[in-house]
């Protein structure tokens, strides 16, 4: 007698009862539910690890800021020199006068432009639809 022909190796189809089919479906639903819950827990753990790693990295990237007071050295005193023979020339005198006027204009400029306001522009645009 061959091993293949023995009655123990031949698979015979069996019919399942409705209770057994319902139990198998319930078992498969429970397995899907369990695998979904385990998957969600795994995703939450991965997200928590990523957030914790970012917190550790960001805290090490931001060094403590220490404010160093600015040391402003005073300007050296001006040295008075004798007047040059070219100082009385008309071109030099007009240049000095222009520089004095320019300096006073620069000092009087409003850097914050508090009076500046954009103009009110009404372009009066009309669109007509032709049919």
Give every CB contact of residue 86 below 8 A, 6+ residues apart in sequence: 92
Give the residue extent of every domain in the chain.
17-60
pTM of this prediction exceeds 0.85:
no
Return the HEC string of 78-99.
CCCCCCCCCCCCHHHHHHHHHH
User: What pLDDT, in 10s, does the model give residues 79-108?
Assistant: 777 777 777 788 888 888 999 999 999 888
* Percentage of the chain exceeding pLDDT 70: 83
Quick one: what percent of the chain has pLDDT higher than 90?
A: 19
């Amino acid at each position: 007698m061959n091993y293949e022909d023995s009655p123990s190796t031949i698979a015979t189809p069996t019919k399942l009862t409705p209770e057994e089919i319902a139990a198998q479906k319930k078992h498969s639903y429970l397995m899907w539910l369990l695998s979904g819950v385990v998957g969600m827990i795994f995703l939450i753990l991965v997200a928590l690890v990523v957030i914790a790693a970012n917190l550790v990295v960001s805290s090490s990237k931001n060094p403590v800021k220490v404010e160093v007071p600015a040391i402003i050295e005073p300007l050296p005193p001006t040295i008075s020199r004798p007047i040059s023979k070219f100082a009385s020339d008309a071109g030099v005198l007009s240049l000095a006068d222009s520089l004095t006027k320019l300096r006073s204009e620069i000092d009087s400029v409003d850097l914050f432009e508090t009076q500046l306001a954009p103009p009110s522009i009404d372009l009066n645009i009309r669109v007509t639809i032709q049919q």
